[in-house]
Amino acid sequence: MPLRKGTYIVPTTKWYIERTVWLIAGFVLLTSTALALLVNPLFILGVTATGLVSINVARTGFCPVGTLLKQLGFTPMLGANRTGASPSLLDRFYFLQTDKWYLERRIYLAVGFNISVASTLILTVSPWFTLFTLFVGGAMVWFAATGYCVMANALYWMGAEPRLNPETAPSARCAECGLSGICVGGHKHNKERQALNGFPLRIVS
């Protein structure tokens, strides 16, 4: 991957599924870590569970929290168009795109692995490792609130391709909204591109 310069910030104009998932995960990390320090160390298993779910999202695309948010009316920005899946399945469940290892997908994997290891170290080595899970939880809340993430920018500088920002990643996506496979703005040229590529058109209001 070629090294690049600049700052990568995800869109913060609306609370789409992926952004809301990061916010919820951040609060879960902060709450679980605080309870582990103040009440019972076993509460850190909430961090472990969050890490394992994050790894599973990166591997398979399925996100239980994203599915719940979808049922509540939130719209995805990195939702997958799963070939062969029935419309009812796509309507009920949320799947992250897993066609390539783009930047946002790498974040799920890296964060999931790091906090899973940290939670194990907290239980077996030292409670001082809670400083790491507190930092990650705070960083995820900050990421959701401002769009800026230290890890995301590190991956961006190393050449990982983002999919949430059309200005920093213009490859084969709608220039106006930067969505892959799903255009929430209903832009004409995005519809034409989807038709040419054989993607089923899906406009989300």
pLDDT tens digits along 131-171: 999 999 999 999 999 999 999 999 999 988 888 875 544 33
Both tokens of residue 138?
A: 């705070």
* Calpha distance 134→152 (Å, rounded): 18
Range among 23-32, 69-78, 85-94 with highest mean pLDDT value: 23-32
Distances (CA, A) of 17 to 23, 27, 135, 160, 176: 10, 16, 23, 21, 19
Q: Which of 167, 179, 153 is nearest to 97 (CA)?
A: 179
pTM of this structure: 0.78
Rg (CA), the chain: 18
Dist. CA 175–CA 165, nearest whole Å: 9
β-pair partners for 165: none
Query: Tens of pLDDT along 4-18?
Result: 788 889 989 899 999
**Tokens representing residue 4 in the block:** 């690049």
How far from each other are the two terminal CA atoms of the chain, in whole angstroms? 36
CB atoms within 10 A of CB 181: 22
**pLDDT for residue 196:** 44
87 pLDDT band, cuts 50/70/90, is low
Does 82 or 35 have the greater pLDDT score?
A: 35
Query: What's the mean per-residue pLDDT of the chain?
Result: 82
Nearest to 163 by CA among 107, 102, 108, 111: 102
